[in-house]
């Protein structure tokens, strides 16, 4: 019989301490083999979508931070994030995997980041140093999509299962660079409640882990402050109430979401808002900003 841990009904798993420990161990093993770590985070929430121990895990290794799904993020806020990470000395890029030419871009940037290492190898007489890189990130940040886009063919679908050992396969991207075909799946932040709500909104942790009321309230608070016009237009309301309960009722009425008679359907309204955010129906919404 298949191990229960390995049965996966949704793409996002529940993480237990055992999962995290396996993921951490596997990441440490794979790190020994690479020159560069390509860490993916969601451009809409670049802090919340970081693994809590990522800095410690990566240590002294070279890192490229890639903010994925840039097409779903607010472009003004995204620019601020790029500047924020650059001032911290982090090599950062924002990408739209469906649009950008990652096959060309990523090897170029990888070699730029590892320039010192290549030069040192050359000075030691190693004529052809082949760089090795791996991709890592929490569930749903776009790891499989990213690898497929670089490789320009479908590699095995990466499951969000931590610590599933497979033999290592290196994909040759060009003469100087190889990529591990399987990304490191890292656990998301759970302890930080604010981050956990954002992670539910971007689909990196399951709805059940965080109370739905609090997730939708969090989304409404962001929309109220930063995207009031979008909020009004999408849900056909003219006034945005300060109280989330009242605002939800107003949206339910305006959208004609009723249970029976004149009782509004709050659950349906909440699911509708959640789905809108996950599917980018509100267009380019960022969930956190560096100047907050
Ligand atoms: P993972 O391996 O890190 O878990 O993530 P995965 O690549 O499976 O991507 C998760 C979802 O994010 C996928 O959508 C994928 O298409 C989408 N995605 C990845 N990169 C981008 C991007 O740059 N822009 C946009 N807009 N979406 C991106 P899905 O609905 O779960 O699956 P599907 O539509 O691919 O079937």
Ligand 1 mean position, distance from CA 141 (Å): 7
Residue 52 is predicted with a pLDDT of: 93
Which of 145, 180, 277, 279, when mutated, tests ligand 1's pocket best, judged by the most ligand atoms within 8 Å of its CB? 145
Q: Are 8 and 160 in contact (CB under 8 A)?
A: yes
Task: Please state, as a whole number, how many other Cβ atoms lie within 10 Å of the Cβ of residue 78.
Answer: 21
- CB 204 near ligand 1, within 6 Å: no
Residue 64's DSSP bridge partners are 38, 91
pLDDT classification of 11: cutoffs 50, 70, 90: low
Say what percent of the chain tops pLDDT 70: 91
pLDDT at 10 over 60: no
- What is the average pLDDT across 174-188? 92
pLDDT at 9 over 60: no
User: Which tens digits make up the pLDDT trace of 213-225?
Assistant: 999 999 999 999 9
Higher pLDDT, 12 or 250: 250
- What is the average pLDDT across 232-242? 97
Name the region of 37 (left: φ>0; alpha: ψ -120 to 50; beta: rest). beta
pLDDT at 27 over 60: yes
Task: Please state, as a whole number, how many other Cβ atoms lie within 10 Å of the Cβ of residue 113.
Answer: 18
What's the mean pLDDT when you consider all of the chain? Answer: 90
> Ligand 1 atom 36: the closest Cα is on which residue?
145
Tokens representing 247?
A: 């605002």
Which of 140, 157, 286, when mutated, tests ligand 1's pocket best, judged by the most ligand atoms within 8 Å of its CB? 140
Ligand 1 mean position, distance from CA 123 (Å): 42
> Domain residues of the chain, as ranges?
10-181, 211-278
Residue 161 is predicted with a pLDDT of: 59
* The domain over range 10-181 is classified in CATH as 3.40.50.300: yes
- What is the average pLDDT across 238-246? 97
- What is the average pLDDT across 154-179? 73
Ligand 1 mean position, distance from CA 167 (Å): 25
pLDDT at 253 over 90: yes
> Ligand 1 atom 24: the closest Cα is on which residue?
69
Ligand 1 mean position, distance from CA 140 (Å): 7
CATH topology of domain 211-278: Conserved Hypothetical Protein Ylqf; Chain: A; domain 2 (1.10.1580)
- CB 94 near ligand 1, within 6 Å: no
What per-residue string of b and e applies to 234-264 under the rule 16 or more CB within 10 Å gives b?
Answer: bbebeebeeebeebbbbbbbebebeeeeeeb
Residue 39's DSSP bridge partners are 65, 136
| Closest approach atom of ligand 1 to CA 40 | 3
Distance CA 91, CA 157 (A): 27
- CB 72 near ligand 1, within 6 Å: yes
Instruction: Kindly give the pairing relationship between strand 177-180 and strand 170-174.
Output: antiparallel
Residue 1 is predicted with a pLDDT of: 34
Residue 118 is predicted with a pLDDT of: 86
pTM (two decimals): 0.92
- What is the average pLDDT across 204-231? 93
- What is the average pLDDT across 181-194? 91
Q: Which of 30-34, 44-48, 159-163, 227-231 has the weakest average pLDDT?
A: 159-163
Residue 5 is predicted with a pLDDT of: 36
Residue 136's DSSP bridge partners are 39, 184
User: Which tens digits make up the pLDDT trace of 124-151?
Assistant: 887 778 999 999 999 999 999 999 999 8
């Amino acid at each position: 019989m298949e191990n229960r841990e390995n049965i996966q009904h949704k793409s996002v798993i529940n993480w237990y301490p055992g999962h995290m420990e396996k993921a951490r161990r596997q990441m440490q093993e794979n790190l020994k083999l690479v020159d560069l770590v390509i860490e993916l985070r969601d451009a809409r929430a670049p802090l919340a979508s970081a693994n809590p121990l990522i800095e410690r895990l990566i240590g002294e290794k070279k890192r490229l931070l890639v903010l994925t799904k840039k097409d779903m993020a607010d472009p003004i806020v995204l620019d601020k994030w790029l500047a924020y990470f650059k001032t911290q000395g982090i090599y950062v890029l924002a990408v739209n995997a469906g649009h950008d030419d990652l096959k060309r871009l990523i090897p170029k940037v990888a070699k730029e980041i590892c320039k010192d290492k290549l030069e040192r190898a050359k000075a030691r007489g190693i004529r052809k140093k082949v760089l090795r890189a791996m991709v890592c990130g929490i569930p749903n940040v776009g790891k499989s999509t990213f690898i497929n886009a670089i490789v320009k063919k479908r590699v095995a679908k990466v499951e969000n299962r931590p610590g599933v050992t497979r033999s290592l396969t290196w994909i040759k991207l060009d003469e100087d660079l190889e990529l591990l075909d399987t990304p490191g799946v890292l656990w998301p932040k759970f302890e930080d409640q604010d981050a956990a709500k954002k992670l539910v909104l971007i689909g990196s942790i399951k709805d059940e882990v965080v109370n739905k009321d609090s997730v939708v309230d969090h989304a409404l608070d962001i929309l109220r402050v930063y995207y009031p016009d979008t909020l009004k237009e999408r849900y056909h309301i003219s006034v945005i109430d300060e109280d989330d309960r009242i605002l939800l009722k107003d949206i339910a009425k305006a959208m004609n979401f009723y249970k029976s008679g004149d009782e509004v359907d709050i659950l349906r309204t909440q699911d509708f808002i959640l789905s809108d955010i996950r599917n980018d129906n509100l267009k380019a919404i960022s969930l956190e900003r560096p100047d907050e």
